[in-house]
Amino acid sequence: MFENKINIRNKKASFLYEFIEKFTAGIVLTGTEIKSIRMGKANVADSYCFFRDHELWVRNMHIAEYDWGTYTNHDPYRERKLLLTRRELKRLEKKVNEKGLTIVVTRLFLNDKGLAKIEIALSRGKKEYDRREDIKRRDNKRNLDRLMKR
């Protein structure tokens, strides 16, 4: 029905964080924001989630102003509310209050109905040596693939 080509990823997050659990959440958006997302003008590279009054919000997610928006245009960096079930929210809030866990945005996409959804991950920051191990593993895999191809 709806052709989905919007899939904005946060590549930096998988390098800096170890994902424990992933969730898909809806976002409360204005009209010009969804139009801008459908044009592919969004960035989730530095965005993260936080709790305010037992509700989950996303911060630092950049959605560019809509080109044909007038005085009704939105603030590109405004905080946006995320929509999850109450059970998921309680579980996430309990986990985030533990030491060292945070919620990062991994990707922004449009579902089959054309609604904007966001994939978030409960995560723990990687240490420097973990990152080095990931780089070594990736390089070794790339070299093996090259050798196998020949």
Q: Is residue 45 part of a domain?
A: yes
Q: Confidence band (pLDDT; 50, 70, 90) for 18?
A: confident
Across all residues in the chain, what is the average pLDDT?
A: 88
Q: Is residue 29 part of a domain?
A: yes
Q: Is residue 1 part of a domain?
A: no
Instruction: Kindly tell me if the per-residue pLDDT of 2 is higher than 80.
Output: no
Q: Is residue 12 part of a domain?
A: yes
Write the burial class of residue 71 (CB in 10 Å: 0-12 exposed, 13-18 middle, 19+ buried): exposed
Q: What is the pTM of this model?
A: 0.79
Considering only residues 99 and 50, tell me which one the structure prediction assigns the higher pLDDT.
50
Other CB atoms within 10 Å distance of the CB of residue 63: 27
**Strand (E) or helix (H) holding 78:** none
User: How many domains is the chain built from?
Assistant: 1
CATH code of the domain containing 86: 2.40.280.10
Q: Is residue 2 part of a domain?
A: no
Q: Confidence band (pLDDT; 50, 70, 90) for 27?
A: very high
Give residue-wise pLDDT tens across range 81-126: 999 999 999 999 988 887 888 999 999 999 888 899 999 999 988 8
Q: Is residue 145 part of a domain?
A: yes
Q: Is residue 22 part of a domain?
A: yes
Please give the residue range of the domain that contains residue 125.
7-149
Write the burial class of residue 94 (CB in 10 Å: 0-12 exposed, 13-18 middle, 19+ buried): exposed
